[in-house]
Amino acid sequence: MLSGKETIVACSTPPGRGAIATVRLSGDKAISIIKKITNHSLKNQVSIIKFPLEKGLIEKCVLTIFKAPSSYTGEDVVEISTHGNPYIVEKVIEKCLSSGAKIAKPGEFTLRAFLNNKLSLDQSEAVIDIINANSKASLKAAQNSLEGGLKAKISTVQEKLRETRVLVETLIDFVDEDTNLYIEEVINKINEFKGFFVSFKHDMKTYSSISSDVKVVVVGPPNSGKSTLINAIIGKKVSIVNEKQGTTRDVVTSSCIIDGVRFVFSDTAGIRKTSDKIEEEGIKLSKKAIKSADIVIYLADKESDFNRLPIIKRKKNIFVLNKIDLCDKKAPAGGFAISAKTKKNLKLLKKTLSQSFLKLNQEELLSVNIRHLDLIKQAHKNLALISPSLVGSNLELVAENLRSCDELLGEIYDPISSDDLLGKIFNKFCIGK
């Protein structure tokens, strides 16, 4: 996967017809290839030239030149802007290939930016997140990461970690001295950092949910109004509403944007004891959906029904009593009393959904993916291995665990590169980016 020295070419605008298409070349021979094709001196950064497509067919183009290292890839880059006709684009690329260029692989332009130290790996990943962002919040998060926000956040954690590492490694060097006076200080520093790390890990999970859509599962007994509630929140009929119990047999998903955040709602089968095998399978899917949810809305007609539902305490849980249009009901502690049918108090519920994921200012949002979370999880495991007894008995092992934690966090933005890792990341890109 590691990019060679060849000059690469690809169309960087979406396929199909449009007003303009842009073909991009990057590499040492980018400028000379265009000079060869057009017989143009290319003295200016921007110029209008006649590009020969084939005998008797010429395209009037705008050429823009970005010389190394002041380009996206860090190499000489030429961008050819043509009319957005697929035939013209095909012929321009064919001319470049016949003059010495190679077709670019998915993500190869951004890979070269990474290899030429124009972008760190987390910034490279933010590029594809910007392209794929489907809400204001996820776009803002990706932009902040592209500007180096994630690296800065990780570096802050590493700085605090290294304060403890320095103390531990200093004590190892003075093993013959009386270090008991400082052991308590090490234990306190590690406990302080553990608390800091837990908060950091929680924030990273929140950022990840916003980047990849916040998953909300609505759970409750049959006929509690789950489908009606989701239809009311989404603003259109996406789930079947029927008085017959057991209507929803599968998990039905639909999405909407609330305060700039994209929420994906899952309508689940009503949870109850049943002898119907198909309905029972639906209930199993409901319980499975709860485990993968970011937020669980427990919906019921009466408060005692909550005791019969599979509640996972470590989740963000919202307890909602429905059908206040039929009789007066008090909201459960910390929850809501609503009417999904008349939409009474629905605005309050929607506000709570958005606020639960926007406690942090949107200017602070970052784009976090599964790779980042996995490295943070591994780092947390190494940190959890450091107990007060280990500090008192084996400072070398404490130092090793701290070092490993530090290196794992560093791999988020500056990994020990391998073809496999880079291949997995950059193959997610489109060709031309």
Same domain, 205 and 294: no
236 Cβ neighbours under 8 A, 6+ residues apart:
none
Same domain, yes or no: 228 and 254 = yes
- Under the banding of pLDDT at 50, 70 and 90, the label for residue 400 is very high
Whether 145 is in a domain gets the answer: yes
Tally of domains within the chain: 3
Mean pLDDT of 375-379: 95
Contact partners, residue 386, CB within 8 Å, separation at least 6? 190, 398, 401, 402
> Does residue 125 fall inside a structural domain?
no
Are both 201 and 221 inside the same structural domain? no
Span 17-42, average pLDDT? 93
For 42, the token pair is 């290319």
Contact 338, 346 (CB under 8 A): yes
- pLDDT for residue 247: 46
The answer to the question of residue 426 being in a domain is no
86 lies in some domain: yes
According to the model, what pLDDT value does residue 334 have? Answer: 83
pLDDT at residue 386 is higher than 80: yes
What band does 206 get if pLDDT is binned at 50, 70 and 90?
confident
Please check whether residues 232 and 283 belong to one and the same domain: yes
pLDDT score for 175: 59
Range of the domain at 346: 214-355
- Give the model's pLDDT for residue 204: 92
254, β-bridge pairs: 265
Together in a domain, 174 and 302 = no
Predicted confidence (pLDDT) at residue 213 exceeds the cutoff of 50 = yes
Q: What is the CATH number of the domain that holds 191?
A: 1.20.120.430
User: How confident is the model over 96-117, as pLDDT tens digits?
Assistant: 999 999 999 989 999 999 999 9
Answer yes or no: do 114 and 56 share one domain: yes
Q: Are residues 220 and 346 in the same domain?
A: yes
pLDDT value for 241: 47
User: Does residue 363 form part of some domain?
Assistant: no
The percentage of residues in the chain with a pLDDT greater than 70, rounded to a whole number, is: 88
Residue 124 falls inside a structural domain = no
- What is the rounded average pLDDT for all residues in the chain? 86
Same domain as 218, residue 203:
no
Together in a domain, 320 and 193:
no
Provide the CATH number for the domain around residue 67: 3.30.1360.120
Identify whether residues 202 and 222 lie together within a single domain.
no
pLDDT band, very low/low/confident/very high, at 301 (cuts 50, 70, 90): confident
pLDDT band at 420 (very low <50, low <70, confident <90, very high): low
Of the residues 64, 92, 118, the one at which a domain ends? 118
Q: Is residue 142 part of a domain?
A: yes
Residue 332: band (very low, low, confident or very high) from pLDDT cuts 50, 70, 90: confident
- Does residue 419 belong to any structural domain of this protein? no
Residues 84 and 114 in one domain: yes
- Choose the weakest-confidence range: 63-67, 129-133, 241-245, 304-308: 241-245
Please give the residue that has the higher pLDDT: either 372 or 361: 372
Q: What is the 3-state secondary structure (H, E, C) of the chain?
A: CCCCCCCEEEECCCCCCEEEEEEEEECCCHHHHHHHHHCCCCCCCEEEEEEEEECCEEEEEEEEEECCCCCCCCCCEEEEEEEECHHHHHHHHHHHHHCCCEECCCCHHHHHHHHCCCCCHHHHHHHHHHHHCCCHHHHHHHHHHHCCHHHHHHHHHHHHHHHHHHHHHHHHHCCCCCCHHHHHHHHHHHHHHHHHHHHHHHHHHHHHHHHCCEEEEEECCCCCCHHHHHHHHHCCCCCCCCCCCCCCCCCEEEEEEECCEEEEEEECCCCCCCCCHHHHHHHHHHHHHHHHCCEEEEEECCHHHHHHCCCCCCCEEEEEECCCCCCCCCCCCCCEECECCCCECHHHHHHHHHHCCCCCCHHHCCCCCHHHHHHHHHHHHHHHCCCHHHHHHCHHHHHHHHHHHHHHHHCCCCCCCCHHHHHHHHCCCCCCC
Give yes or no for a cis peptide into 69 (omega within 30° of 0). yes
What's the whole-number mean pLDDT along residues 197-207? 91
Q: What is the mean pLDDT of residues 386-413?
A: 92
- Say whether both 218 and 324 belong to one domain: yes
The predicted-structure confidence for 236-280, as pLDDT tens digits, reads as follows 775 544 444 444 445 678 888 888 888 999 888 766 665 556 656
Boundary of a domain, candidates 94, 118, 142: 118
Residue 221 — very low, low, confident or very high, per pLDDT cuts 50/70/90?
A: confident
